Amino acid sequence: MMNLPKEFMEKQKEKIDPILDWVNSEFGVKPVVYTSFLGGKQDERLAKAVETVLKDANDYELASIDAMAAAAHSLVIPLAVFRGKLGVDESIELIRLEEDHQVDRWGLVEGGHDVDIADLKVQMSSAVVFLQLSWLK
Domain range for 96 is 6-28+42-134
- Our count of domains for the chain comes to 1
53 in any annotated domain = yes
User: What's the average model confidence in pLDDT over 115-132?
Assistant: 97
Distance CA 65, CA 87 (A): 14
1 in any annotated domain = no
| DSSP character at residue 109 | -
Q: What are phi and psi of 58, to 5 degrees?
A: -80, 175
| pLDDT tens by residue, 15-58 | 999 999 999 999 999 999 887 777 789 999 999 999 999 999 99
Kindly report the number of other CB atoms within 10 A of residue 46's CB atom: 18
Q: What are phi and psi of 78, to 5 degrees?
A: -60, -35
Tallying the residues shown for the chain, one arrives at 137
34 in any annotated domain = no
Residue 77 has pLDDT above 90, yes or no: yes
Mean pLDDT, the chain, as a whole number?
93
